[in-house]
Structure 1
Amino acid sequence: MTAAETGRTLRTNRSAVAHWISGTPPAPTTVPVIVEALCRLLGRSLSAAEIGLAQLASDDLISWDADTLAALGELGRRDLDVERRQALAVAAYSLQALALPGDRWWAHRAEKSAHPSGANGRRVGRGDLEAVREMVAAFSRIDQRHGGGHARTAVVQYLITDVSNYLHGRFIDDHVRNDMFSAASELAYLAGWTAFDNSEHAVAQRYFVSALKLAAEANNPPTAGHALRGMAYQAVDLGHGAQAVGLIEAAMEGKRYSLASSRERSMFGAQLARSQAAAGRHKAAAAALARAESDLASDRSRTEEPGRLFIFGEADLTFQRAYTLRDFGDLHGAAREFRRSVRIRNSTAFARVHVVTLGELASLQVRQGAVEEACATWSRALDAMDGIQSARTRRVASDMRQALSPLRRRGIRAVAQLDNRAAAYLRDSV
């Protein structure tokens, strides 16, 4: 929700706000409006509890205190239902949901792992767990190659049917139970990531919250940190740098960082650097970047790593370094790092981020006056867009057309051809 949209919503609900200020409790449906408006006004995350409205908060899909499995199931059902999905799609991305719960909440969720409630479902063993892990890995690779528009529905369907049945089942032991909840967390994260890639930000946020809750109930701190990293990535992409810093700093607290592999630590540190840079904290960003580089260089190859970390390596650290330098104002350095990330990345397995990187590089080249070089880079991006369904790659194409707009009137053939290709991609990828 933009500031303008928040203002309009507040004006529409001004009577509820006025009654609340005067001491009359607002209707539950207006609580998110009031909290969100205060978040925007104060420029920081708030929860309904902090302003005394916790009991009236109505969105159980994003509530920290709602039952994890019930909220996840309802979210998935709404997401898959054509009519109900429309209402979910127009919901606002919420800054109030970025106010993380306190230590007591984490302790309570960990207790569920230590003393799981009884279940009457099917017997769940390690073979079931391995099947879920294989499906998560397969869906993750499809997302990286073809974008969030491919298989998103299949991810959600699998999450709220097969995986949900496992989560309600009778586990052979607590280890399998916690590992299954961790795998479900990674799948909920992927559901959020595909929604984020489709620019369905309110939906994505709700899946990320579910992923964090599942990881907490699995008592798996690094997986919880991974969910927080996704929330931070989304926040900084939407322009909320300060909130992103808070989220990724939480991912790097205590066991979420100390129990993570060196590569996951590096992923967290790279995200912290980008978030700090977006918030204008250049010194802190430089320190975070150095820490991320050190973590990735650490020789801990014998440590078993979660499968989710296949997405992160030197190319991705370089990618985040480029964003950090860009926000420092070092356009030359940022272009150099984007160029290096393109060069060292597997552009087939990671086609979507390859396109995004080329788009960022071309935008910097235009800003530096290298129009011909930018056109060549954008042409490479269009070549790589084949088979990708992603709002972020569509944004590359639309940014390309906007940047080329002043040049189209000059009748330059290469520019006209590039513009026509971008227009065709935008038309055909909807």
Structure 2
Amino acid sequence: MAARPTKQPNEALTYWIERAGISNAALARLVNHRAEMAGIHGLRTHEGRVRAWRAGQAPTDPIPQFLAEILSERTGLMLTCADLGLPARTIPMTTGPAMAWQPAPTVAAIAHLTRSEMMAPHSRDHEEARAVNVGDDLLLPLHRWATATPSTLAAHGRGRIGASDVEGIRAVTTMFRDADNRHGGILSRRAVIAQMADANTLLETATYDEETGRSLFAAVADLGSVAGWMTFDSGMHHRAQQIFITALHAASEAGDRALGAHILQCMARQMSHLGHYQEALDLVSLAEYGARGDATPATRAMLASLRARFHAILGQVQDSERAAGTAQDLFAAVDPGAEPEHMAFFDHAELCATIGVVHQIAAKSDTGPGRHRRAGASLDLLHDARRLRPEHRVRSAAFDSIGLARTHLVVGEVDAALAETQHALGIFHSIGSPRVGDRLDELHDEARHFQSSQAGGELCELLSTALAS
């Protein structure tokens, strides 16, 4: 009778446990805690089982993934199950629209996304962009946001956190927002993802009361909105959508519907950028409905302005004009000092830019005498937007110039379009934003209609050179 093969000690697991400076008993407690946070209530690991794993016994799912996450946090390195000599996770991690509206799946999904976040930037023409959820696959699960109620929050782990810890996360979020505005999403994207992982660890492991827990979920949600926006700006559309969805779940657990509406409008802008205009309009409608009793004046004005833009793109001119008027009326009631930090971007300049683009879109489809009138209104508003832009809104200034160039082309003013394009390219070369490159590509397509003229040919050549570099 053949002898049963002897288990080989798992030297890799032992090495990383010792490098993390954690005892077998402490590791067992952390595995149990992580299982509870993931909604797995029957898992009871103890010190003897950790010794058995080190001796070569293979732990059952989902323990290998829990071990990889815990030891990654303790060592500061991105460790996989394979690094620990363990089988990879076989239970799928849900990070899409159908994720449950509960704290544990939200925390687990954020942890999964932030720890697997090492991808190269893409564009909206890449396969990764085509992997985004659209239509009912996106919208039906998200409609539960409008009626989801926050769970009872009370966490008991190592270390107690309070208001100062939450304020620290908010301060970091403000810093990353500023970096995004000044330099584009690529430069700081990985740093904000790492910060999101650190903040999410507090949700997983710290002790906090109900009030602090809600504030912490809100802070993580807002940080997630910045992480999603930077990822979107970097051209990583599927990953950006996943981050937005998890941030929306965190905002729901915080009971912050105004913040949820902000995240939905980010998602709507992404859908529009990818050409899914009806989904963009539906997301705005969901934001308006879900935050109807909590939205600030700036939030309502912003959503109305986006509604105007998406109606215009869909050729619904009268609906667009009504929504634009509503946005301008609502903005008159905005008190910047009373608005949350995440709404600071929607100032007078942003309102002018959005409505200016609405008039530009309407001018393109107007074949009558109203074309020049609409184009004139667009130019006036876009010039106002550029004049009013705060200095740190560098990427927005590039969009203003691109918008002006596109409006000039609508009425055949090619020399003016060339001048605005040169200004936009000066900014484009100083920031890391594939999204700006996508807008320049759209401008290039529109400029081809004028390439037979000297200025049109120069414009096309200028854009071709810039986009090829």
Would you say same fold, with TM above 0.5? yes
Give the deviation of 1:343 after TM superposition: 2.2
Answering whether residue 134 of structure 2 is matched by residue 92 of structure 1, we say no
Partners of 2:274 and 2:120 in 1: CA distance: 26
Query: Structure 1: 5+ residue runs without aligned partners?
Result: 1-56
Answering whether residue 425 of structure 2 is matched by residue 382 of structure 1, we say yes
Distance 1:297 1:377, change over 3 A: same
Is the 1:88–1:203 contact (alpha carbons within 8 Å) kept by the matching residues of 2?
Answer: no
**Which of 279, 284, 287 is the matching residue for 1:248?**
284
- Give 2:182's aligned residue: 145
**Which of 312, 316, 324 is the matching residue for 1:277?**
312
Partners of 2:216 and 2:265 in 1: CA distance: 21
**Which of 337, 343, 349 is the matching residue for 2:381?**
337
Answering whether residue 237 of structure 2 is matched by residue 237 of structure 1, we say no
**Which of 137, 147, 168 is the matching residue for 1:131?**
168
How many residues are paired up? 360
Q: For each residue in 1:375-417, what CA deviation from the matched residue of structure 2 results, as whole angstroms up to 9, or x when unmatched?
A: 111111122234211012223444455555677777x59965x
- Give 2:357's aligned residue: 323
Is the 1:145–1:352 contact (alpha carbons within 8 Å) kept by the matching residues of 2?
Answer: yes
Distance 1:299 1:202, change over 3 A: closer
Query: When the two structures are superposed, what TM-score results if normalisation uses the length of structure 1?
Result: 0.75
Query: When the two structures are superposed, what TM-score results if normalisation uses the length of structure 2?
Result: 0.69
Is the 1:124–1:169 contact (alpha carbons within 8 Å) kept by the matching residues of 2?
Answer: no
Q: For each residue in 1:52-75, what CA deviation from the matched residue of structure 2 results, as whole angstroms up to 9, or x when unmatched?
A: xxxxx9771214334111112112
Is the 1:382–1:421 contact (alpha carbons within 8 Å) kept by the matching residues of 2?
Answer: no
Partners of 1:62 and 1:319 in 2: CA distance: 32
Give the deviation of 1:299 after TM superposition: 5.5
- Secondary structure (helix, strand or coil) at the match of 1:168 reads helix
Give the deviation of 1:423 after TM superposition: 5.3
Answering whether residue 73 of structure 2 is matched by residue 73 of structure 1, we say no
Answering whether residue 188 of structure 2 is matched by residue 178 of structure 1, we say no
Give the deviation of 1:293 after TM superposition: 1.3
Partners of 1:99 and 1:414 in 2: CA distance: 42
Give the deviation of 1:101 after TM superposition: 3.4
Distance 1:111 1:390, change over 3 A: closer
Give the deviation of 1:94 after TM superposition: 1.3
- Secondary structure (helix, strand or coil) at the match of 2:187 reads coil
Partners of 2:254 and 2:400 in 1: CA distance: 35
Give the deviation of 1:212 after TM superposition: 0.8
- Give 1:64's aligned residue: 98
Answering whether residue 141 of structure 2 is matched by residue 101 of structure 1, we say yes
Query: Structure 2: 5+ residue runs without aligned partners?
Result: 1-90, 364-373
Partners of 1:90 and 1:407 in 2: CA distance: 30
Which residue identity is paired with 1:342? R
Partners of 1:125 and 1:175 in 2: CA distance: 9
Is the 1:148–1:198 contact (alpha carbons within 8 Å) kept by the matching residues of 2?
Answer: yes
**Which of 338, 361, 386 is the matching residue for 2:404?**
361
Which residue identity is paired with 2:166? L
Is the 1:119–1:168 contact (alpha carbons within 8 Å) kept by the matching residues of 2?
Answer: no
Answering whether residue 230 of structure 2 is matched by residue 194 of structure 1, we say yes
Which residue identity is paired with 1:92? A
Distance 1:82 1:153, change over 3 A: same
Correspondence 1:345-356 to 2 at 5 A: 345-346=389-390, 348-356=391-399
Partners of 1:103 and 1:405 in 2: CA distance: 42
- Give 2:435's aligned residue: 392
Is the 1:125–1:171 contact (alpha carbons within 8 Å) kept by the matching residues of 2?
Answer: no
- Secondary structure (helix, strand or coil) at the match of 1:101 reads helix
Give the deviation of 1:361 after TM superposition: 1.5
- Give 1:10's aligned residue: none
- Secondary structure (helix, strand or coil) at the match of 2:116 reads helix
- Secondary structure (helix, strand or coil) at the match of 1:80 reads coil
Distance 1:312 1:333, change over 3 A: same
Which residue identity is paired with 1:216? S
Give the deviation of 1:285 after TM superposition: 2.1
Give the deviation of 1:421 after TM superposition: 5.8
Distance 1:197 1:250, change over 3 A: same
Is the 1:318–1:341 contact (alpha carbons within 8 Å) kept by the matching residues of 2?
Answer: yes
Partners of 1:322 and 1:129 in 2: CA distance: 38
Give the deviation of 1:284 after TM superposition: 2.3
Distance 1:373 1:140, change over 3 A: same
Distance 1:279 1:415, change over 3 A: closer
Is the 2:352–2:381 contact (alpha carbons within 8 Å) kept by the matching residues of 1?
Answer: yes
The structure with the larger Rg is 2
Which residue identity is paired with 1:134? A
- Give 2:243's aligned residue: 207
Which residue identity is paired with 2:247? A
Partners of 2:228 and 2:142 in 1: CA distance: 23
Q: For each residue in 1:254-280, what CA deviation from the matched residue of structure 2 results, as whole angstroms up to 9, or x when unmatched?
A: 5x1332221222112211221222233
Is the 2:308–2:321 contact (alpha carbons within 8 Å) kept by the matching residues of 1?
Answer: yes
Give the deviation of 1:229 after TM superposition: 1.0
Give the deviation of 1:322 after TM superposition: 1.8
Q: Higher mean Cα deviation, 89-98 or 359-368?
A: 89-98
Partners of 1:218 and 1:159 in 2: CA distance: 16
Which residue identity is paired with 1:328? A
Give the deviation of 1:93 after TM superposition: 1.3
Correspondence 1:42-53 to 2 at 5 A: none
Which residue identity is paired with 1:278? I
Which residue identity is paired with 1:298? A
Is the 1:181–1:214 contact (alpha carbons within 8 Å) kept by the matching residues of 2?
Answer: yes
- Give 1:314's aligned residue: 348
Correspondence 1:223-234 to 2 at 5 A: 223-234=259-270
